[in-house]
């Protein structure tokens, strides 16, 4: 569990590639420092391309904030597994986790920047999703 005391929305990055997930998280950290709870996961349990519901659950725990968690994903399978991870959460927690329909790198940076200013989960999601074409 995260011990973040600032109450900012947490960010989770889920990619099919461990390198993309880690690199995106590094960009977020460089932009916003330690202002937001942040976690990432990528790859399947065998180290190849893919995603894992278990890894996503663990990432949600690491980035958990009472303000909520915004998840950024790269491809459909990451979104599907993230939705499954949300469904496995206790009801009180599940309602405070959203998957953003946004580009993973740009969306994560923008979402984290918004979160670092104390924005609500809905504002974080809305700002990230403004990056997507209509």
In the prediction, which pLDDT does 9 show? 98
Give the model's confidence band at 133: pLDDT under 50 very low, under 70 low, under 90 confident, else very high: low
129 domain residue, yes or no: no
Give the model's confidence band at 5: pLDDT under 50 very low, under 70 low, under 90 confident, else very high: very low
Residue 12 · residue 72 · CB < 8 Å: yes
Tokens describing residue 46: 């065998």
Residue 50 · residue 43 · CB < 8 Å: yes
- The Cα 20–Cα 113 span in angstroms is 19
Report, as an integer, the average pLDDT of 90-118.
Answer: 96
State which residues form the domain around 57.
10-123
pTM: 0.93
Tokens describing residue 125: 């999601």
Report, as an integer, the average pLDDT of 100-120.
Answer: 97
In the prediction, which pLDDT does 6 show? 65
CATH number at residue 95: 3.40.50.510
Alpha carbon separation from 5 to 45, 51, 67 (Å, rounded): 32, 29, 11
133 domain residue, yes or no: no
Give the model's confidence band at 2: pLDDT under 50 very low, under 70 low, under 90 confident, else very high: very low
Q: Which residues are catalytic?
A: 16
Query: Across the chain, where does the E strand assignment appear?
Result: 10-15, 38-42, 69-73, 97-100
134 domain residue, yes or no: no
In the prediction, which pLDDT does 134 show? 56
- The Cα 48–Cα 20 span in angstroms is 13
| Average pLDDT of every residue of the chain | 93
Q: How many domains does the chain have?
A: 1
């Amino acid at each position: 569990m995260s011990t973040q005391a600032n109450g900012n929305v947490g960010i989770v990055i889920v990619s099919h590639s461990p390198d993309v997930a880690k690199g995106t998280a590094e960009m977020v950290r460089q932009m916003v420092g330690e202002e937001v709870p942040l976690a990432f996961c990528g790859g399947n349990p065998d180290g190849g391309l893919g995603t894992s519901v278990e890894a996503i659950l663990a990432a949600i725990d690491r980035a958990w904030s009472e303000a909520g968690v915004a998840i950024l994903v790269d491809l459909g399978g990451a979104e599907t597994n993230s939705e499954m991870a949300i469904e496995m959460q206790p009801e009180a927690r599940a309602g405070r986790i959203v998957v953003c329909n946004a580009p993973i790198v740009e969306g994560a940076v923008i979402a984290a920047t918004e979160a670092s200013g104390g924005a609500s989960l809905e504002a974080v999601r809305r700002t990230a999703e403004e990056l997507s074409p209509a």
